[in-house]
């Protein structure tokens, strides 16, 4: 039915003739706002109210509730061809609503595109978000208990077939505790400056990239710095990443470097090293690359859409945008984040990081599916000069885990070559000791 106005009258008329039509209509139309005709909108709102109050739905009750004349009621009933097709009329109304909204989105897109202060990537991302939201409007997504359970059994079948796997880093202790990173989830990896969050981030990216397509967006390090850390971790010669950046190497070391590059070239990792980046721009890059995992280093350096917003408002907006990006693309988003320095000089166990120290906004903890807090016992002390073969303790506290347990695992960090190893796959429940 292409005559959307006639469809609106037919929906109301069919319900007025036989109120048993209403459930079929309600499955399709969730709001009176889908009606373009004011009288039809008021009538449908009255019908919904009467149904909720378990009162009769007929021309008299609807007319009185909506303040509509009998002539309008009669017109609706005359237009309705068949009560049995009420669901089809409702689909036509929903289609008309979405088409009107598409026109509004198009007009807004044209206005934004010609706005001098608008960034193209932000306009594009806003348009995509509007279209995503539009695809959900005007229709009901409510399911019966039976349908919901059947869908879950299908989901379980996909899990058993390996189609719904989480992204696992490759550290048995961390993967066993966290359960892997879930598709559509936002995960925060937080530490105080200098603890090693960037080192952990790029190492995790390389490990994830063995089986998943990964985009690593860095606003802090150059591509050369990141690749130096990657190659050092896989180089048999034990060359530190500092030497890879600034030192001379011999023929034997060059051969080891080439071998490491050969190994890393098989990883599905793309690096985006830029000085500034918004969530909208990140979304464009991630969508174009078709990645499974996005890692951004770090959240505090991302640009907000509103340049006049306070740091709290900007961080809240960015956190929410990252969560929506993960859901929209169906990928994992891992955002590195700084913790406040407030307890850095505290004595004893007070030095340990806590969720309350997440910087600038409580929305970060609220939006995140998981929060990993990083800690080194040597942090804040005089750094010990180590050989590439000598590790130090590195703890990862899964402080929030929406899909499983919390606790702490220990890794060995070979800092000069930026290599992390699992310490036996054991985890310590809610403790640093």
The CATH code of the domain that includes 71 is 1.10.860.10
In terms of domains, do 205 and 308 share one? yes
Whether residue 149 lies inside any domain: the answer is no
In terms of domains, do 209 and 351 share one? yes
Distances, alpha carbon 305 to alpha carbons 53, 105, 267, 321, in Å: 44, 19, 33, 10
Q: Which domain holds residue 8?
A: 4-134
Q: For residues 257 and 236, what is the distance between their CA atoms, to the nearest angstrom?
A: 8
Query: Which one, of 83, 100, 93, lies nearest residue 35 by Cα?
Result: 93
In terms of domains, do 206 and 96 share one? no
**β-strands 332-338, 186-191 pairing:** parallel
Highest mean pLDDT among 26-30, 116-120, 156-160, 202-206: 202-206
In terms of domains, do 272 and 326 share one? yes
* Of 106, 134, 162, the domain-final residue: 134
pTM above threshold 0.75: no
Q: What domain count does the chain have? A: 2
Whether residue 147 lies inside any domain: the answer is no
Whether residue 335 lies inside any domain: the answer is yes
Q: What is residue 328's predicted lDDT score, i.e. its pLDDT?
A: 86
Q: For residues 258 and 92, what is the distance between their CA atoms, to the nearest angstrom?
A: 63
What is residue 400's three-state secondary structure? strand
Q: pLDDT tens digits, residue range 275-328?
A: 888 888 888 889 888 999 999 998 888 887 666 777 788 888 888 889 988 988
- pLDDT-derived band at 433 (thresholds 50, 70, 90) equals very low
* Of 83, 114, 134, the domain-final residue: 134
Kindly state the tokens that stand for 202.
Answer: 């790029």
Whether residue 402 lies inside any domain: the answer is yes
For a pLDDT cut of 70, what percent of the chain falls above it? 87
Whether residue 140 lies inside any domain: the answer is no
Domain with residue 308: its CATH number is: 3.40.50.300
Report, as an integer, the average pLDDT of 63-84: 90
In terms of domains, do 405 and 287 share one? yes
Q: Considering just the CA atoms, what is the radius of gyration of the chain in Å? A: 28
Q: For residues 351 and 192, what is the distance between their CA atoms, to the nearest angstrom?
A: 10
Kindly state the tokens that stand for 381.
Answer: 């002390």
Query: Which one, of 430, 432, 412, 431, lies nearest residue 421 by Cα?
Result: 412
Whether residue 161 lies inside any domain: the answer is no
In terms of domains, do 201 and 294 share one? yes
Q: pLDDT tens digits, residue range 350-388?
A: 578 888 778 665 678 788 899 999 998 877 666 666 666
SS3 string, 120-144, reads HHHHHHHHHHHHHHHCCCCCCCCCC
Whether residue 65 lies inside any domain: the answer is yes
- pLDDT-derived band at 432 (thresholds 50, 70, 90) equals very low
Whether residue 150 lies inside any domain: the answer is no
- pLDDT-derived band at 344 (thresholds 50, 70, 90) equals low
Distances, alpha carbon 147 to alpha carbons 102, 151, 152, 158, 189, in Å: 31, 6, 9, 17, 37
Average pLDDT over the chain, rounded to whole? 83
């Amino acid at each position: 039915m292409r005559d959307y106005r006639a469809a609106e009258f037919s929906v109301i008329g069919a319900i007025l003739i036989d109120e048993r039509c209403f459930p079929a209509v309600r499955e399709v139309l969730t709001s009176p706002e889908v009606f373009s005709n004011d009288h039809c909108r008021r009538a449908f709102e009255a019908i919904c109210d009467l149904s909720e109050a378990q009162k009769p739905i007929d021309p008299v009750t609807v007319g009185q509730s909506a303040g509509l004349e009998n002539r309008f009621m009669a017109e609706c009933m005359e237009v309705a061809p068949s009560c049995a097709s009420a669901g089809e009329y409702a689909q036509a109304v929903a289609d008309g609503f979405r088409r009107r909204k598409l026109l509004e989105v198009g007009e807004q897109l044209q206005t934004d595109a010609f706005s001098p202060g608008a960034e193209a990537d932000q306009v594009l991302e806003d348009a995509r978000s509007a279209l995503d939201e539009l695809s959900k409007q005007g229709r009901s997504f409510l399911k019966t208990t039976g349908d919901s359970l059947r869908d879950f059994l299908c989901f379980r079948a996909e899990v058993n077939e390996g189609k719904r796997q989480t992204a696992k880093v490759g550290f048995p202790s961390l993967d066993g505790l966290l359960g892997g990173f879930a598709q559509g989830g936002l995960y925060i990896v937080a530490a105080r400056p200098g603890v090693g969050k960037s080192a952990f981030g790029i190492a995790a990216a390389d490990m994830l990239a063995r089986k998943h397509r990964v985009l690593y967006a860095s606003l802090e390090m150059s591509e050369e710095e990141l690749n130096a850390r990657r190659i050092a971790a896989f180089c048999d010669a034990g060359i530190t990443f500092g030497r890879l950046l600034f030192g001379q190497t011999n023929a034997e070391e060059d051969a080891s470097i080439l071998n490491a590059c050969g190994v890393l070239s098989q990883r599905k990792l793309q690096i985006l090293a830029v000085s500034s980046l918004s969530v909208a721009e990140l979304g464009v890059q991630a969508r174009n690359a078709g990645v499974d995992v996005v890692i951004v280093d770090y959240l505090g350096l991302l640009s907000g859409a509103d340049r006049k917003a306070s740091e709290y408002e900007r961080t809240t907006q960015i956190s929410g945008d990252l969560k929506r990006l993960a859901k929209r693309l169906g990928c994992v988003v891992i955002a590195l984040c700084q913790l406040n320095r407030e307890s850095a000089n505290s004595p004893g166990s007070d030095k340990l990081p806590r969720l309350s120290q997440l910087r600038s906004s409580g929305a970060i903890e609220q939006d995140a599916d998981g929060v990993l807090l990083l800690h080194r016992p040597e942090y804040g002390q005089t750094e010990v000069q180590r050989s590439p073969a000598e590790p130090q303790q590195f703890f990862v506290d899964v402080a929030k885990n929406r899909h499983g347990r919390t606790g702490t695992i220990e890794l060995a960090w070979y800092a000069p070559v930026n290599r992390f190893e699992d310490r036996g796959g054991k985890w310590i429940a809610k403790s640093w000791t």
